[in-house]
Amino acid sequence: MLMDITERLNELKKLIVKYQDSYYKTGKSEVSDSEYDRLFDELLNIEKGHPELITADSPSKRVGSDLTQDFPEVSHTIPVLSLDKAYTIEEIYSFIKRVGTEVNNDDLSFILEEKIDGFSIVLYYEDGFLVRAITRGNGYVGNDVTENVKTIKTVPLKLTEKVNIAVRGEIFLLKNDFKKINESLEDTFANPRNLASGTIRRIKSSETAKVPLTIFCYEGFLDSKSEKKFHTHIEILEYLKKLGFNVDKNISIFSKKKINSLFTDDMSFNEIPDEILRRAELRESLPYEIDGLVLKVNEIDVRDKLGFTEHHPRWAIAYKFQSPQAESQVLNIDVQVGRTGRITPMARINPVTISGSEIKNATLHNQDYINQLELCIGDTVAVSKRGDVIPAVEYVTEKNTLGNTIWHIPENCPVCNCVLVRRGAHLFCPNTECKARKVGALIYFCAKKQMNIQGLGEKVLNLLYENGYVKEITDIYTFSPDALLNDNIEGFGQKKVMAIKDAIFESKKQPFRRLLAALGIDEFSHNAIDLVIRNGIKSYDDFKNLVKDKENAFKRLSSIDGLGPETSNKIIEAFTDVKILSILNFFDSMGFKMEEESAENTQADLILSGQSWCVTGTFEKFKSRDLIHDIIRKHGGRVVTSISGNTTHLLVGENAGSKLNKALNLGVKILYESDFIQLLNSMGEVYGKET
Ligand code: IVH
């Protein structure tokens, strides 16, 4: 009986793997979906009843599990080095020359491979079974992500031979799959690499299984006890293919003598530069992303002779297509605490200049991002600054040699020492009295987009807070700036104090919508405020009346197109919160505008309603993008700061950055300044003069 079941199980496994393989190779299914599901269910059922029959290579291992996992740190048993880089053909020439003179060998040959822009992984096999999949980490220690990697259909769970081998490869996503998946996401990824590395670190392998990741393998390391020895890289690639690995077939061979290989015809050394340039041109037409090409010595004995530096082998070089905007070393990482308590890790880097400005700090977003990058202090990183966004660390270009491991955000707030709490992807300081949060709220209130109080920036507000002049936003309107003069506070002369007084006075004239936004109520952002005002809730009294009946208030707010239940609840919570109400009462008593005057837009004015606009670059007629944002909102449009599948329009100014490309890829409608002015004029608004 058990024999029958074992036989049936083996039969099912073979069939399912066969169908999966042919689907992967041809993109078409040999059987109907229902037949495939029926076979799979039968396999799962047998395995459920007979767990002792589950083998490590069962297709059921690909489905993943809903159990959460962490990724323990595991030491590598092979050195996981990175590659030396070249950005010019001249540098490639000198590499070839250096190798040639150092080894002086007539049998020397080179292989050119694609440098896949994905996520680096090391697969460890024992007796032909996949036992561990470890991330690169710092080169010595990586994270165990085996369960997630097992869900990748092109990673063999069992090899065709019972060998002990470690295999290096790159996990990646096809461009088309990336596009499809990214469009369906709320928080989109900048590129397939980031999506792939994020997916590899999902805590439920069932989530990883939903993304069609794939792999190319490019290096194999046999157990030292193995009788088999490799003589060339080509032999390694051919053997990997034979064992069942996916190997990139786009390779070129350059040799003095002729080599017969499965892969390609060989060329001579002086054809290397042309071939590199030819392959670089083919890049766009590939279905996956490559960020360069890798030139490797083919002969293993020559490789051994050349050896390694601390960072990379002397027998290979990466020709990178683009030099990063800037490269620098991470000197330290510390965390910033925002007004909402949100913790943002920041890399302190060796100062570098990008388009004229000196960069010393770059954002690392959150712990997940640091994990994705496997970032350690001492690593060299690529840093970018696009438009006016905060510079960001994009990827690691060179691992540290200090033995540092992945950096972790501390458990306590660095400012008030409270234990941090996790909400979604971010950590927060929960202490509402934390100094960083208090000053953050003051900075936000005074910022250009909100009350626009010039002279009250980060530095001055910190000073006012520390010296006890301004602790709460209401203090801005009750403290006397003259005290700064009288108390002889350094840096505050007559002129500066006058300017601050004027700016504070002017801010009292700000429209109600800006005052509301300046309070920084969770979820009640500029866009949400505009939606509510446009729906007739446009004064402080309206809000107070609205929340008298919470149930009705929720019904009314959540029925507004574009306002979700969470935001609706947050609004109700805010207008029943005694602290917020007392602040608003204060502003009311100080004569602030407590009603939105321009809320009487007719339907005809709301010509942009339902549209989602992103604005990038600089403009001739509009002094600031904020002004354009206000106009878009006034006409019913939503303003977003990044391009996603939901963005409908991109308004492009001078020096537009990567947003334009992304918009083109996603088919977002693109307008230039003149188009925008024409559109506004067609609505009867005379823009086009100096605004
Ligand atoms: S060889 C000692 N070959 O690029 C051998 N690496 O910057 C070192 N990569 O960490 C790696 N495609 O993740 C090699 N065909 C290829 C590659 C490749 C992508 C990645 C790999 C490595 C990084 C080096």
Residue 318 beta carbon below 6 angstroms from any ligand 1 atom: yes
Lowest mean pLDDT among 177-186, 297-306, 400-409, 427-436: 177-186
Model confidence at 373: pLDDT above 60: yes
To test ligand 1's pocket by mutation, which of 113, 170, 263 has the most ligand atoms within 8 angstroms of CB? 170
Q: Whose CA is nearest to atom 11 of ligand 1?
A: 82
Ordered structural domains, the chain, with CATH: 2-54 (1.10.287.610), 84-320 (3.30.470.30), 325-428 (2.40.50.140), 435-507 (1.10.150.20), 512-589 (1.10.150), 612-682 (3.40.50.10190)
- Provide the pLDDT for residue 480: 92
Residue 187 · residue 195 · CB < 8 Å = no
Residue 233 beta carbon below 6 angstroms from any ligand 1 atom: no
- Provide the pLDDT for residue 55: 86
Instruction: State the Cα–Cα distance between residues 644 and 612, nearest whole angstrom.
Output: 10
CA of 81 to the centre of ligand 1 (A): 8
- Provide the pLDDT for residue 689: 42
Residue among 515, 397, 518 nearest 82 (CA): 397
Q: Residues 487-509: pLDDT tens digits? A: 998 889 999 999 999 999 999 99
pLDDT band at 459 (very low <50, low <70, confident <90, very high): very high
Instruction: State the Cα–Cα distance between residues 175 and 286, nearest whole angstrom.
Output: 9
Q: Residues 205-235: pLDDT tens digits? A: 999 999 999 999 999 999 988 889 999 999 9
How far is CA 324 from its chain centroid?
Answer: 16
- 588 vs 658, higher pLDDT: 588
Secondary structure percentages of the chain, helix, strand, coil, to 5? 40, 20, 40
Portion of the chain with pLDDT greater than 90, in percent: 59
Q: Whose CA is nearest to atom 15 of ligand 1?
A: 115
To test ligand 1's pocket by mutation, which of 119, 218, 252 has the most ligand atoms within 8 angstroms of CB? 218
Q: In the beta sheet, which residues pair with residue 199?
A: none
With the C-alpha atoms ordered 459, 460, 461, 462, is the resulting torsion angle positive or negative? positive
**201-215 exposure pattern, b = at least 16 Cβ within 10 A, e = fewer:** bbebbeebbebbbbb
Instruction: State the Cα–Cα distance between residues 457 and 153, nearest whole angstrom.
Output: 54
CA of 98 to the centre of ligand 1 (A): 21
* Residue 318: other Cβ atoms inside 10 A: 20
Residue 116 beta carbon below 6 angstroms from any ligand 1 atom: yes
Lowest mean pLDDT among 220-224, 334-338, 501-505, 673-677: 673-677
- Provide the pLDDT for residue 691: 36
Helices first, then strands: H and E counts in the chain: 24, 23
- Provide the pLDDT for residue 339: 95
CA of 82 to the centre of ligand 1 (A): 6
DSSP state of 190: S
Residue 247 beta carbon below 6 angstroms from any ligand 1 atom: no
> Which active-site residues does the annotation give?
115
Instruction: State the Cα–Cα distance between residues 450 and 443, nearest whole angstrom.
Output: 10
Task: Tokens for 510, please give them.
Answer: 């700000």
CA of 292 to the centre of ligand 1 (A): 10
Lowest mean pLDDT among 114-118, 123-127, 657-661: 657-661
- Provide the pLDDT for residue 443: 97
Q: What atom in ligand 1 is closest to the CA of residue 113? A: 15
How far is CA 686 from its chain centroid?
Answer: 41
Question: Which residues, 6+ apart, have CB-to-CB distance to 40 below 8 Å?
Answer: 16, 59, 60
Q: What atom in ligand 1 is closest to the CA of residue 397? A: 7
Task: Tokens for 558, please give them.
Answer: 């959540």
pLDDT band at 26 (very low <50, low <70, confident <90, very high): low
Q: Whose CA is nearest to atom 10 of ligand 1?
A: 82
Residue 470 · residue 438 · CB < 8 Å = no
Cα atoms in the Cβ-side hemisphere of radius 13 Å centred on 432: 2
Q: Residues 374-409: pLDDT tens digits? A: 999 999 999 987 655 678 999 999 988 888 999 999
Model confidence at 308: pLDDT above 60: yes
CA of 139 to the centre of ligand 1 (A): 12
pLDDT band at 138 (very low <50, low <70, confident <90, very high): confident
Instruction: State the Cα–Cα distance between residues 398 and 533, nearest whole angstrom.
Output: 51
CA of 246 to the centre of ligand 1 (A): 15
Model confidence at 316: pLDDT above 90: yes
Lowest mean pLDDT among 124-133, 185-194, 498-507, 602-611: 602-611
Residue 147 · residue 157 · CB < 8 Å = no
Q: In the beta sheet, which residues pair with residue 110?
A: 254, 297
To test ligand 1's pocket by mutation, which of 110, 114, 120, 123 has the most ligand atoms within 8 angstroms of CB? 120
Question: Which residues, 6+ apart, have CB-to-CB distance to 604 below 8 Å?
Answer: 683
Q: Residues 343-356: pLDDT tens digits? A: 999 999 999 988 77
Lowest mean pLDDT among 110-119, 237-246, 676-685: 676-685
